[in-house]
Chain A
Amino acid sequence: MTVEMTTSGPAATWLKRRSRISAIEIVFWLATLLPFFLFPSYLSLASQIAIGALFALSVDLILGYAGIITLGHAMFFGIGAYTAAILAKHGWGEPLTGLVAAAVVAGAVGFVTSFIIVRVQHLALIMITLGLGLLTYELANSFSTVTGGTDGLGVTIWPIFGRFDFDLWGYTAYSYALVILFIGVLVARRIVNSSFGLALTGIRENSQRMPAIGSVYRTHLQKIYVVAASMAGIAGALLTQTTGTVSLDTLSFQRSADVVVMLILGGTGRLYGGIIGAIIFLVARDRLSDMNPQYWYFWIGLLLMAIVLVMPGGILGGLSRLFGRFVR
C-alpha cells in the first residue's frame, strides 16, 4: 500500500475543493426524477439508460482515468448478468444479494485478468481485452447447459425488499437502476477525487514517470481494474434483474464497442461523460429506430461523426470549453 491518505495540508484542501458537489450536479440528479412525471411510458427505456450509464461509468474509471483502453469490457457486464441469472435460475431470485454476488464474481475475474492487463499497453491492450471478451463469449456459448447457449435464460426475480415487484411500466426497474447508478457515481467520485485517483491520472499521462516518483503503478492499475469490473458486473446484473432475461448478447463485442462509443460521445475522464453519452446514444437509438427500423444505423453514424468532429472532447468536453470561453 503506497496510497497515503492526506488528511491535512494544502493537498487535502485542494482535493476537497475538487470533490465539492456543484449546483449542476444537484440539478442533474433532480432531472433524473423527471421521467416519473413527464414520460411514465418511457420508464423501461430510462432504466436501460441508467444501466448503460453505470456500465459506461465503469469503463470511464479505467479508460478515462487510468488510460486502460478496453474493447472487451462487456465480458464483466455479461459475467455479472449471468451470475444474477444463474442464481435466480437455481432458486435465489433476491435482487440485492444477486447484485453483490455479481460484483464479487466479476471482480474476481477482473482480479485474475488484471495480471495480464497491467503488463501490456496501447495496441496490445486492445488485442488482449478484445481476445478475453471473445473467449468469454465462446465459453458461455459452449456451456449451454448452464448458460442456455444462444437461447439465453429467462428467470424469475423476486420483488425488491419483498415488496416492489418489477412492473410492466418499469417504475420499480427505473427506481432500482437509478438508485444503484447514484451509489455508483458516489463511489466513483470518491475514488477519482482521492490521492489514489490522482495517481491513476498520473499513470494515464505518463506511465514511465510514475515509478520514478515512487508510485507502484501496476498495483494501482490492478485495483482500479477490479473496481471497474465489479461495477460492470453490477450493471449486467441490473439488466438481468430488470428484464428477467439474459443472453449471449450481454457478452458480445457489440456491447463492448457501444459502451466505448457512449463514453467518447459524452467525454472521457469526466465521470458524467458516460452518463450523458448513454442518454444521448440510447435515446437517439430509440427515436431513430422508431422512425426507421431498417436503416437507423446510418443516422447514428452521422451523429457520431458530427459530435466527434465538432466537439473532440465529447459533449461534456465541448460544453466546458464553451463555458470556459464565456467566463473568460
Chain B
Amino acid sequence: MLKKTAAALALGFSLAAALSSTALAEGTVKIGLIMPYSGPFADAGAQMQAGIDLYVKEHGDEVAGKKIVLIKKDTGGPNPDVAKRLAQELVVRDHVDVLAGFALTPEALGAAPVATEAKKLMVDMNAATSIITEKSPYIVRTSVTIPQINYAFGKWAADQGIKHAYTLVADYGPGHDAESSFAKGFKEKGGEIVGADHSPVANPDFSAYVQRIKDAKPEAVYIFIPGGSQPAAIGKALADKGLTPPNTKLLGQGELTMPDAMESLGKNADGIITAFHYTLERKDPLNQKFVAGYKNLTKGREPDLFSIGGYDGMHLIYAALKKTKGDASGDALIKVAKGMSWESPRGPITIDPETRDIVQNVYIRKVEKVDGKLQNVIIDTIKDVKDPLHGAK
C-alpha cells in the first residue's frame, strides 16, 4: 500500500520534473557517455574521450539546429551493475537522447537492456565482443570485433602459403575469441595449428612458453596479448630463443605493435606482421588530418583504436541527427543509422543494416624500418570485412 502511494506520488513529481526539463531541453541533444574514466582502464577512456572531443571540436557542437551536450559518467572498470545504474540514471534523471561510450564488454552488456526499455540509440564505441549488438535492437557499433580481424587474418595467413602455425594467447575472453577465430580462418584455407597455448593475462616471463613453441617448430607464431609491458616481455623471449622473422613468422592482432608497445619492443618488433582496422601510419589525407588534429588536442599523443572508435561514434550520431533533421528518438536514429556508410580516417566503413555492426577494411601491416624508424607498413588490405559470428548459429 505504502509503496503504491509512494510510487504514485513519485510518479507525479517526476512527471512534473520531466515536463519542465523537456521544456528546457528544447533544442538540445544530450549524449550520455558511459566509460572507465578512472581505474585500470582509465587510459582507454581517456583516448576515447579525446577522439570524441576532437570530433566535436572539428564539427562544432550544433547539429540540425540542436546543441550537443555531453554528460560523462565513470564506471571505474568492467562493472555491468554500475554501467546499468548509470544508464538508468542518464535516462530518468538527465533525460539523455543517446547512450554512448562503452570501452569494455561488461559495460555494454549492462546498459543494453536500458537502451531497449527506454528506446534510446546506444553507440558502442569500443567493446569488441560479437554478441553485444544482438543484446538490443538499438545498439550500433563503431569499433571492431575480435573475430572480424582474426578470422580474416587467419585466412590471409594460409593464403600466403603458411602451413603450420602455433597460437599463444592471453588466458581471458578476448584471447580465447582471437585464438578460435584465427584458427577457424586458418584451417578453412588448409592451414594446420600445430599447438595452442594460453599464458596468464599479466605474465612477466615468456621463456617457458617460447621454449615450447620452439620445440613445436612452427612456420609462424600467432600471438594475442594485451598491451602494457607484455609485448616487450614476449619480444625479448622470442629474440632470446632465436624465433624471429624471417625464419619464424610472427603474427598478431594490432595491439602487439601499437606505438607504445612498439617502443618497448625496440628492435625485436622488426618484421612482425599484424592485422588491424586502424593504422596510424596509413597514407591518406583524412587520416593524416585526423592524426595531426589529435596530436594537437592531446599535446602529442597519437590516436589508437579507442580514439578512432570514439571519433567515428560521434560521426554516426551527428550524421544520423542530420538525416532525421534533429529528431533524437531512438527509433528514428537507429532507422537512419542502419546501412549508413562514410569515409573514416581508418578507411571506408559501413553499418550493416542487418546486424547494426560495423563493416570495414582489415589492414595487414608489417613492421619495417622507414627513415630509420620502425613503423607499421600496410602490405595488404582485406576489403569490407564483416563479423563472421553474426548469424553463424
> Could you give, for residues 238-262 of chain A, a 1 whenever the CB lies within 8 Å of some chain B CB and a 0 otherwise?
0100011111111000000000000
Give every chain A residue within 8 A of B109 (Cβ-Cβ): 151-152, 154, 245
A293 touches B72 (CB 8 A): yes
Give every chain A residue within 8 A of B88 (Cβ-Cβ): 44, 168-170
Q: How many residues of B contact A (CB 8 A)?
A: 46
A-B contact list, 28 entries, CB within 8 Å: A36-B9, A37-B13, A40-B13, A42-B93, A48-B81, A141-B172, A151-B109, A152-B109, A154-B135, A168-B117, A168-B118, A169-B88, A171-B6, A171-B7, A243-B80, A243-B81, A243-B84, A247-B78, A247-B81, A247-B110, A249-B80, A249-B81, A250-B81, A289-B73, A289-B76, A293-B73, A294-B37, A296-B38
Interface residues of A in 1-57 (CB under 8 A from B): 33, 36-37, 40-42, 44-45, 48
Asked if A142 is at the interface (CB within 8 A of a chain B CB), the reply is yes
Q: Which of B80, B84, B92 contacts A169 (CB 8 A)?
A: B92
CB of B89 to closest CB in A, whole Å: 6
Give every chain B residue within 8 A of A219 (Cβ-Cβ): none
Interface residues of B in 8-39 (CB under 8 A from A): 9-11, 13-14, 17, 37-38
CB of A52 to closest CB in B, whole Å: 11
| Chain A residue at minimal CB-CB distance from B37 | A293
Interface residues of B in 100-131 (CB under 8 A from A): 105-106, 109-110, 112-114, 117-118, 129
A40 touches B105 (CB 8 A): no
> Could you give, for residues 84-96 of chain B, a 1 whenever the CB lies within 8 Å of some chain A CB and a 0 otherwise?
1100110111000
Asked if B199 is at the interface (CB within 8 A of a chain A CB), the reply is no
Residues of chain A whose beta carbon lies under 8 Å from any beta carbon of chain B: 33, 36-37, 40-42, 44-45, 48, 141-142, 144, 149-152, 154, 168-171, 175, 239, 243-250, 289-290, 293-297
Give every chain A residue within 8 A of B76 (Cβ-Cβ): 289
The SS class assigned to the B binding surface is helix
Not counting A36-B3, A151-B106, A289-B37, a sample of 13 additional A-B residue pairs whose C-beta atoms are within 8 angstroms of each other reads A33-B6, A36-B6, A40-B13, A41-B93, A144-B173, A149-B173, A152-B106, A168-B114, A171-B10, A243-B110, A246-B80, A249-B81, A249-B106
| Chain B residue at minimal CB-CB distance from A41 | B93
Give every chain B residue within 8 A of A42 (Cβ-Cβ): 89, 93
A36 touches B106 (CB 8 A): no
Give every chain B residue within 8 A of A170 (Cβ-Cβ): 88
